[in-house]
Structure 1
């Protein structure tokens, strides 16, 4: 088994009026999130990871839109039920935040083995629905970037 690298990206896909794409995990009903994924050997940079993950999870080509590295990362403890994916003894992951601004909400094509549903919601509503505190923090930063508050 190839273990995941404990370095990942979280990509907030949003519109200029701050509608945010949320996707529901296939392996955890009711767990909503933004696009996330670990860096892989073929990825030269974190940006490459973000582009690959957006394509894999939504079918969108991030290179066709405004993808920005926010130069912000957070380290969190990996949930116990997902630790088997990492090498023995790995308990924390560092997640790097990116934003992807689209001109409008778009239909996406989910990877069925990863996600079962998607919704476009106001960024404040998204912050109430995502399961990860790092995702909440990224959404708060999105609001700050647009000078809004939760």
Structure 2
């Protein structure tokens, strides 16, 4: 990261922050499974269905996410994913019925896996040359984990 190092580290921090926040929101149901089931009125089976819906959608979307990362603007994809994920979080905060919650989980998979995952990795890897990739990816994961 020789040239314009400060800007690159700021960009890396923004990429890390976006990934950390988006994935935390999308995986909130894993962290708060019991309180979520209680307050939203879902049974453990329904919570399992919600988690499975996200997981299946995510598995399907991982492969095309690499193509998306190569074809579209990283800045626009990350920005769009953050905005849509935030709106989905607000919708989830309204304690929606099960069918809406299932749709939210598919949409979370689209925003976090299809639109954000590979795009974030690709954007972070473009911040330096091959000799700097380890430092960049370690910094990216470290920043994301701290969020």
Tell me whether the two structures share a fold, i.e. TM-score over 0.5.
Answer: no
- TM-score calculated relative to the size of structure 1: 0.25
- Greater percentage in strand: 1
Higher helix share goes to which structure?
2
TM-score, structure 2 length as denominator? 0.25
